[in-house]
Amino acid sequence: MTATEASSGASPVSPPVPFVRAVVLNYNGDPHVFRCLEALRTTDWPADRFSVVVVDNNSADGSAERIAADFPEVELRRLGTNTGFPANNEALGDLAGVDYVALVNNDAFATPGWLGPLVDALEEDPALGAACPKLLFAPAFVELTVASATFRAPGDARDLGVRVSGVEVDGVDRWRAAQFPPPGFWGIERGAGQESQYCWTNGQAALRVPFEPVGMPSGTELSSTELSSTELNGTKLSSTELNGTVRVRLAAPKPTAVTLRCGPQELVVEVGPTPAWFTIEVSGTPFDVVQNAGSIVLTGGYGADRGFLERDNGQYGSSDEVFAWCGGGVLLRPAYLQQVGLFDERFFAYYEDTDLAWRGRAQGWRYRYVPASVLRHQHATTSVEGSATFNRYVERNRLIMLTKNAPRRLAFDAVWRYLLTTLSYARRDVFGPLRRVGRPRFGVVHLRLVSFGSYLRLLPALLGDRRALRRRQIVEDAVLATWFQRRR
């Protein structure tokens, strides 16, 4: 209250509620984008101070037409070509009258109270360029243990158990939503036939099976409204008991005894060279899994999600400053974007958010993780993690980001190590089989060479960008490097 108001007895005038624009990027998003927009309709914020803009990346699945028909309050901006994630720039470049702008993935589902804590964080600290929520994976999970003896394959130093190539829950394919966390799994690989994608176990593996609460239709993902019915903030499903039937498809080079366990259930089966399905009844209390609690950069120059694949046991329950933010869910300050710039359109997909966050860090901006804000994310619906497209962009774009932003030594080492790693794959997949009169596998090596060739074509322009960014940098590399974390 001002002195004039106090002397006149006038009531204090509250500052206006900030106007927030939420931007949803859509590309063939049926059905996820509709649940995303329905969840945003429940946002606890004055309707006249909140707008939603959908930037459609030339979708061909009819989702843009349905958005126009079913969500008349949404501003739909349709692009003539698919320009990838940087198409968000279409709604980030005209922010007159907008106090804050949020990015929400079209496969992310906001809880009703997601926005307020993020706005509060930016209001309280003008030096913050962004505030990011806790991103949880959309489903709840139960663990299915897959245990077997291990062996070593020629030319492969890994301890291998059996191959997992299929996951079904109550008759519905759930492979893409299942999780194969280390150290029990070696990561998704590409194959052929029934095993077009598969994961080797490391003898004792905890497969995370995605589930829905009892009474929900199998295979139905959980929207924020449905989730909020179990707890007020919609972040936990621990009060809901799950049960159902899980089938897993397994194979091994020779007959192998495998023990499947879930809760009190245990099943011993024999797995052989032909992929076969095995069924087990499962039940138990589900748990949530963190996708992102702010973003980090590892000492080798790899971008990563803070907390990725960790069970949510409350370890990320406090608000913290973070090095970077994830574009799947974030609230941005327009002044930050005006100073630092928008997404680099050369990235197309992956690392463009870490690049923008790094540029801002170098120019003095900071970012805060706000766990009171929660979004649930259906991971990798537009592109499949582990696919050729995914790997091509991830490998190339990491080098682009480091060439633009990283200390010279780190950028140079990343390029050199990339080439050495490619050579090691060539020894394993090409030269090794040829020495044994076997069939060489060119897939990984070819993909890495294509990625590197694309990087080299961009290199002259990237070096020019690096020089320009260095002139604008006010935070020393040594200070930025204190944020880099070692791989665990």
Q: Tell me what pLDDT residue 15 has.
A: 79
CATH annotation of 20-138+291-377? 3.90.550.10
Q: Which 3 state secondary structure label does DSSP give 135?
A: strand
Q: Tell me what pLDDT residue 221 has.
A: 42
Q: How many CA atoms lie within 13 A of 210 on its CB side?
A: 25
Q: Tell me what pLDDT residue 283 has.
A: 79
Domain ranges of the chain: 20-138+291-377, 140-220+242-284, 388-481
Q: Are 248 and 201 in contact (CB under 8 A)?
A: no
Residue 364: name the closest of 482, 480, 483 by CA.
480
Q: Tell me what pLDDT residue 12 has.
A: 63
Q: Are 101 and 359 in contact (CB under 8 A)?
A: no
Per residue of the chain (488 residues), what is the pLDDT tens digit? 433 343 345 556 677 899 999 999 999 999 999 999 999 999 999 999 999 999 999 999 999 999 999 999 999 999 999 999 999 999 999 999 999 999 999 999 999 999 999 999 999 999 999 999 999 999 999 999 999 999 998 878 899 999 999 999 999 999 999 999 999 999 999 888 999 999 999 999 999 999 864 333 333 444 333 433 334 334 444 445 667 899 999 999 999 999 999 988 999 999 999 999 999 998 778 899 999 999 999 998 999 999 999 999 999 999 999 999 999 999 999 999 999 999 999 999 999 999 999 999 999 999 999 999 999 998 655 555 556 677 788 999 999 999 999 999 999 999 999 999 999 888 888 777 777 767 777 788 899 999 999 999 999 999 999 999 999 999 999 999 999 998 87
The Cα–Cα gap between 202 and 395 comes to 25
Say which amino acid occupies 39: A
Q: Tell me what pLDDT residue 387 has.
A: 62
Q: Are 449 and 426 in contact (CB under 8 A)?
A: no
227 pairs with which residues across the strands?
none
Q: Tell me what pLDDT residue 21 has.
A: 98
Q: Tell me what pLDDT residue 225 has.
A: 36
Q: How far is CA 130 from CA 135, 230, 294, in A?
A: 15, 30, 11
pTM: 0.87
Q: Tell me what pLDDT residue 381 has.
A: 55
HEC assignment per residue over 252-310:
CCCCEEEEEEECCEEEEEEECCCCEEEEEEEEECCECEEEECCEEEECCCCEEECCCCC
Q: Tell me what pLDDT residue 388 has.
A: 65
Q: Tell me what pLDDT residue 383 has.
A: 54
Q: Tell me what pLDDT residue 355 has.
A: 98
Q: Are 308 and 291 in contact (CB under 8 A)?
A: yes
Q: Which 3 state secondary structure label does DSSP give 78?
A: strand
Two tokens, residue 480: 């930025």
The Cα–Cα gap between 279 and 335 comes to 55
Q: Tell me what pLDDT residue 432 has.
A: 74
